[in-house]
Amino acid sequence: MAKSIKPKVMVLRTAGTNCDQETGFAFSHFGAKVNLVHINKLLKKEEKLADYHILALPGGFTYGDDIESGRILANELRLFLSEDIRRFVAEGKLIIGICNGFQVLVKAGFLPGEAKPSKKEYQQETTLITNDSGKFEDRWTYLRVSGESVWTRGLKDIVYFPVAHAEGKFVAGSAKVLKRLQAQGQIAFRYCAPGGAQPVYPENPNGSQDHIAGITDETGHILGLMPHPERHFLFTHHPSWTRQAQKAEWGDGAQIFANGVRYVQNKFL
């Protein structure tokens, strides 16, 4: 008998979020039950994170990116919901942050994911700052996939996703943090040139250290990335799909959302 319970995905939104519908569509297309939840419902306990299997932080410009990109929402999550998120992660559930969502995850300290044992507080170890170009970058990028993660299983070695950000330069807080990410396989995506060669601008659109476009926590259950997989979810999202020799149904980003849904089905349902 087919399983009647669907994986539940919370797509978290607030003022300035603008990619919630697309992110929700991607998950629902693979059978998830998706709710778009405003942050106030979590803060007022009208919704419970524990009732969900996946937390998705979509792209946009939360709170107008006042102060800096993602900082206000990051503070709300860290100060008021960190224990809920800690339990969520401890239960083996999944989190994905895309673009502004990635900025939120690193500034809240949920990525790379090390908590300070003595105080049980998440500590920010990396950040995303203004692009080296000094301008908003809106272009398609090639990405080399690496590391071990629930989210990246089955992806092609090189994928093609668009970026749209002004503050996407990944910077580690120290050489030690960067080495840890490299050694533990937490770098999920790196910008590259077509064919996988070392990139220069604009192939690396923001000047990120080690060309980093996305990272995971140590478990591989939390993923953050600046490029938008939901914008290459269908094959027809590709900017030159009509000129492609082989037509397909799915774009390069679809596997990420399928992986999240499949993981929940296998582990929890």
Which residues have a Cβ under 8 Å from the Cβ of 113 and sit 6 or more positions away?
Answer: 89, 217, 218, 219, 222
19 labelled catalytic: no
99 labelled catalytic: yes
The full DSSP string for 77-141 is: HHHHSHHHHHHHHHTT-EEEEETHHHHHHHHHTTTT--EETTTTEE---EEEE--TTSS-EEEEE
Which residue ranges form the domains of the chain, and what is each CATH number?
8-268 (3.40.50.880)
Mean pLDDT of the chain: 94
Strand partners, 122: 115
* pLDDT given for residue 122 in this prediction: 87
Nearest alpha carbon to residue 163 among 20, 59, 54, 84: 59
- Give the integer Cα–Cα distance in Å for 155 and 162: 16
53 labelled catalytic: no
Q: Provide the 10 A C-beta neighbour count for residue 62.
A: 28
- Give the integer Cα–Cα distance in Å for 63 and 72: 7
Query: Token match 């690396």: residue?
Result: 204
Question: pLDDT in tens for each of the 269 residues of the chain?
Answer: 345 679 999 999 999 999 999 999 999 999 999 999 999 999 999 999 999 999 999 999 999 999 999 999 999 999 999 999 999 999 999 999 999 999 999 999 999 986 555 556 789 999 999 999 999 999 999 999 998 899 999 999 999 999 999 999 999 999 999 999 999 999 999 999 999 999 999 999 999 999 999 999 999 999 999 999 999 999 999 999 998 888 888 999 999 999 999 999 999 98
- Give the integer Cα–Cα distance in Å for 100 and 117: 28
Q: Which helix (H) or strand (E) holds 85?
A: helix 82-90
The radius of gyration computed from the CA coordinates of the chain, to the nearest angstrom, equals 17
Say if residues 203 and 158 touch (Cβ distance below 8 Å): no
Distances from the Cα of 129 to the Cα of 115, 134, 198, 201, 220, angstroms = 22, 10, 22, 16, 24
Q: Which of 19, 22, 47, 99 is catalytic?
A: 99
Strand partners, 162: 140
Q: Provide the 10 A C-beta neighbour count for residue 148.
A: 13
Nearest alpha carbon to residue 53 among 114, 9, 4: 9
Q: Which of 53, 165, 221, 228 is catalytic?
A: 228
Q: Which of 53, 230, 232, 237 is catalytic?
A: 230
